[in-house]
């Protein structure tokens, strides 16, 4: 690789890391994205620009992967309703996913390690081959799975950008829709329906949590059976 390109990547990497760290601590982004009332107040302050602010926040919470994203998905439904909330969230999540994927592909493994724990990255090394496409789609469909980290991990693979676009966009739809439904139910004060939905989702996530290790091992063995 050309030495100038290496230097350019190093400078850009330091710049991105410095800006991300500054913004995270300056504005206490972790706390901000954990407080739905604070986010709602911030978005409503901009009135006619609220949709664009919301989409921007969704992009931000994906690219800064350790920021929790469930709250913003919930807020999409709370502010805009089920259909528009899902639509706006999907736009933001897709753009954020593409940014994370592209950054990982451009900067490589050292950049990804700034956001993803090394042990977690090594755990999903089998996604680095084209055979990991199917399991990647399944992981995006699983409620509660850290999809933002997955965007960075897949950026290191040989997956094509358009394939990633499809699985990241449509794979998030189920969880995005459910979060939008939950937000709408709370806004309309349908608390019993919200509790029912929360219990059902909780049961699904519990089942996934209980069987995730055997499932991952089974898929891993299937992907490597011809090695």
Secondary structure class of 145 (helix, strand, coil): coil
Q: Confirm if 184 and 113 have CB atoms less than 8 A apart.
A: no
Separation of alpha carbons 173 and 178, rounded Å: 8
Look at the chain and report how many structural domains it folds into.
1
**How many angstroms separate the CA atoms of 164 and 94, rounded?**
10
Question: d(Cα 220, Cα 217) in Å, to the nearest integer?
Answer: 5
Is pLDDT above 80 for 225?
no
Q: Distance between CA 66 and CA 20 in Å, rounded?
A: 12
Range of the domain at 95: 3-223
Does 51 have pLDDT greater than 80? yes
The confidence score (pLDDT) of residue 128 equals 65
pLDDT, residue 227, reads 47
Residues 156, 163: Cα–Cα separation, whole Å:
14
pLDDT value, residue 102: 94
The chain-wide mean pLDDT, for the chain, equals: 83
Q: Give kind and range of the element (H or E) at residue 202.
A: helix 191-223
The pLDDT of 106-125, averaged and rounded, is: 82
């Amino acid at each position: 690789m050309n030495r100038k390109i290496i230097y350019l990547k190093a400078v850009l990497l330091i710049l991105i890391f410095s800006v991300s760290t500054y913004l995270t601590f300056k504005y206490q982004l972790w706390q901000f994205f954990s407080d739905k009332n604070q986010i709602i107040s911030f978005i409503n302050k901009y009135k006619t620009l609220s949709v664009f602010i919301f989409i921007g926040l969704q992009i931000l919470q994906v690219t800064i992967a350790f920021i929790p994203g469930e709250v913003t998905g919930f807020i999409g439904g709370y502010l805009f309703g089920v259909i528009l909330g899902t639509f706006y969230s999907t736009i933001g999540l897709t753009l954020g996913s593409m940014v994370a994927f592209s950054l990982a592909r451009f900067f490589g493994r050292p950049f990804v390690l700034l956001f993803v724990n090394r042990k977690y990255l090594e755990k999903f090394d089998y996604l680095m081959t084209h055979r990991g496409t199917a399991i990647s789609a399944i992981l995006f469909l699983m409620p509660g799975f850290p999809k933002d980290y997955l965007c960075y991990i897949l950026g290191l693979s040989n997956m094509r950008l358009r394939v990633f676009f499809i699985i990241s966009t449509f794979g998030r739809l189920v969880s995005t829709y459910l979060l939008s439904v939950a937000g709408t139910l709370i806004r309309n004060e349908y608390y019993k329906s919200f509790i029912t939905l929360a219990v059902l989702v909780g049961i699904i996530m519990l089942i996934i949590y209980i069987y995730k290790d055997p499932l991952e091992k089974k898929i891993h063995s299937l992907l490597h059976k011809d090695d």
